[in-house]
A and B are shown apart, each in its own frame.
Chain A
Amino acid sequence: MESPINKRLFWILAVVGGAVMAFGVWGLFRDAARTHPDQWVRWFVGAALVHDFLVAPLVFVVAALTRRLLSERSRGIVNGALIATAVLSAMAYPFLRGFGDNPDNASILPNNYALNLSLIVGLLWLVVAVTLIARSRTKPGRDERQT
């Protein structure tokens, strides 16, 4: 289905946005000594490709697995905890691996990220487990039967 679109607004903002993008591209090449456009483009396009052909399909594979393995009742909360775990892990990953560590500077990445991430994620899954156990002892609610 064609989504509704205000063609006039589209073209006005396309011109404005296009000009802003052109300014960005111009800056990229004007500052080429520092931006290394060839490598920059690889990261820019690579980010989209990695997401669209690797990360997103992986998410759909995991979603298909939870769809197959879990009941309708428990799937929502498990999927939610998986999302939270994935996002927090992705955010903490560069810190956890200590890529930016500097032996001279103890103030960089001062936390024990592996331990802290495990604590947070562990607590999260504990809540999930307790919720699932508590739910399994009660009868399905009305709206859950509907879905």
Chain B
Amino acid sequence: MVRKPARSVFERLTPPERLRVGPLREGAFHSRLHDPRTASWLGLALGISFTICFVTGLLSHFIQYPPQWFIWPSRPAGVYRVSQGLHIATGLVSIPLLLAKLWVVFPHFWTWPPVRSFVHLMERISLLPLVGGSLFLLFTGLANIGLWYPWRFFFPAGHYSASWITIGALIVHIGAKATITRMSLRREPPEVRRSPESRGRRRFLALIGGVGGMVTLTTVGQTFSPLNPLALLAPRRPDIGPQGFPVNKTAKGAGVTSLAQRDSYRLTVEGAVTNELSLSLADLQALPQRTATLPIACVEGWSASETWEGVPVPHLLSMAGAAEDASVTVESIQPMGLYKDSELNRVHAHDEDTLIALKVNGETLHIDHGYPARLIGPNRPGVMQTKWVGKLTVH
């Protein structure tokens, strides 16, 4: 007597065949590109681009909200510029990669039976945070570089939470797909390579790569100035703005237009010092000046290199008698705003090129660039290059 093998829970839960309609039908999807090899190549590319985005994004987060153990160096001066430029560029290039990947694997969304086993169920559940998270990150990131906020949550906080959830889901997905990916990416024998399937796949992947290239070419000039002439679709141009470079927050937006132009303006140095300072603009101009060519690199991915002139922060610290390992809070005179102050860790505070800048490219700072005085230092995000500086508090 032959016993039937016991049916698993999932087999018994399979819906009746008559419900298998529309995209659930066998052969509902025609294209030969819905295959594991195409999915694996795109998956591999996305795995790399998402990892770059995650690491550079986390770095930017740590620089702005440093944990105890994290001391961000001030040298080389352009690391942040490259890392954040890479974050935005890889995010943008992920748009065609992700859309292509989702299209290739779309038939799996309508797979029959819907759930085959516990592992299959787990894998499918992990796709909601993976797909939802990936689309969320790319959409919110794209909107953010265009300064568009059609939601109530604070963009960096929402984007940050989503990034952990998405990367977690990606790790689960890698566990589920590692074997099939490795099998599908095996080198094809020559006769397979000549087949229409293989040629079609290569053409499709080349197309998606080409679209990614177009996305990059038309945007990356916002941070990589040699390609600026091609940056036709970039949300910023490194050469457009007051004094020839962009501005995020204007004086009007920060509500400092009149405050910044008063004669009573003073820069004070206080806190853990032996000699508190209160300096007028004329006092600052009378101090030894230093010139440094430094990038201003925004978290939104644009950057521009300018020549700044002003008083080195270490000079002010030694005038005030601050300790050798002092760190500093730099505060703007702007009445409010999320980014009205920033921290100089002990490395940044003692870098000779960390300036209270009074001039840029030989001209007095434009008020939108922080007149009368702004912080500019090497290797810092733009939001931490505080403008309209009124107070240095030494710790």
Residues of chain A touching chain B, judged by Cβ–Cβ distance below 8 Å, are 2-7, 9-14, 16-25, 27-28, 31, 34-36, 39-40, 43-45, 47-48, 50-52, 56, 59-60, 63, 67, 76, 80, 83-84, 87-88, 90-92, 94-95, 99-100, 102, 104-111, 113, 116-117, 119-120, 143, 146-147
State whether B148 touches A100 (Cβ < 8 A): yes
B168 contacts chain A at the CB level, 8 A cutoff: yes
Q: Shortest distance in angstroms between A107's beta carbon and chain B's nearest beta carbon?
A: 3
Within 8 A of A (CB), among B238-289: 240-242, 245-248, 250, 252-253
State whether B180 touches A5 (Cβ < 8 A): yes
B234 contacts chain A at the CB level, 8 A cutoff: yes
The listed residue (A5, A21, A47, A95) touching B168 by CB distance below 8 A is: A21
State whether B233 touches A9 (Cβ < 8 A): no
Chain B residues with Cβ below 8 Å from A94 are 142-143, 146, 148
9 contacts between A and B (CB under 8 A): A4-B183, A23-B164, A24-B168, A34-B153, A43-B139, A48-B131, A87-B99, A90-B95, A109-B147
Chain B residues with Cβ below 8 Å from A63 are 31
State whether B211 touches A84 (Cβ < 8 A): yes
State whether A91 touches B92 (Cβ < 8 A): yes
Q: How far is the CA of A21 from the CA of B116 in the complex (A)?
A: 24
B73 contacts chain A at the CB level, 8 A cutoff: no
User: Top 7 A-B pairs ranked by shortest CB distance?
Assistant: A13-B175, A24-B164, A100-B147, A20-B168, A17-B171, A21-B168, A107-B241
Chain A residues with Cβ below 8 Å from B176 are 5, 10, 13-14
Within 8 A of A (CB), among B95-114: 95-96, 99-100, 102-103, 106, 109
Chain A residues with Cβ below 8 Å from B171 are 13, 16-17, 20
State whether B95 touches A108 (Cβ < 8 A): no
Q: Shortest distance in angstroms between A91's beta carbon and chain B's nearest beta carbon?
A: 6
The listed residue (A21, A28, A110) touching B237 by CB distance below 8 A is: A110
Given contacts A24-B165, A25-B165, A95-B233, contact A87 B95 (CB under 8 A): yes
State whether A39 touches B152 (Cβ < 8 A): yes
The listed residue (A18, A80, A90) touching B172 by CB distance below 8 A is: A18
The listed residue (A24, A88, A110, A143) touching B218 by CB distance below 8 A is: A88
B160 contacts chain A at the CB level, 8 A cutoff: yes
Chain B residues with Cβ below 8 Å from A24 are 161-168
Interface centre among B36, B122, B136, B173 (most CB of A within 10 A): B136
Interface centre among B154, B160, B163, B168 (most CB of A within 10 A): B168
Looking at chain B's contact residues, the main secondary structure is helix
State whether A39 touches B233 (Cβ < 8 A): no
B362 contacts chain A at the CB level, 8 A cutoff: no
Please, which residue of chain A has its CB at the minimum distance from the CB of B117? A2
Chain A residues with Cβ below 8 Å from B234 are 111
B48 contacts chain A at the CB level, 8 A cutoff: no
Given contacts A13-B175, A14-B122, A56-B106, contact A47 B139 (CB under 8 A): yes
14 other A-B residue contacts (CB within 8 Å) besides A14-B122, A105-B248, A120-B214: A2-B120, A13-B174, A14-B126, A24-B162, A40-B151, A50-B135, A87-B96, A88-B211, A94-B146, A107-B247, A108-B147, A111-B232, A111-B237, A147-B200
Q: Shortest distance in angstroms between B311's beta carbon and chain A's nearest beta carbon?
A: 27
Please, which residue of chain B has its CB at the minimum distance from the CB of A116? B232
Chain A residues with Cβ below 8 Å from B68 are none
B310 contacts chain A at the CB level, 8 A cutoff: no
Given contacts A3-B36, A143-B199, contact A109 B146 (CB under 8 A): yes
Interface centre among A5, A59, A90, A119 (most CB of B within 10 A): A5
State whether A107 touches B246 (Cβ < 8 A): yes
State whether A109 touches B235 (Cβ < 8 A): yes
Q: Shortest distance in angstroms between B128's beta carbon and chain A's nearest beta carbon?
A: 6
B170 contacts chain A at the CB level, 8 A cutoff: yes
State whether A43 touches B183 (Cβ < 8 A): no
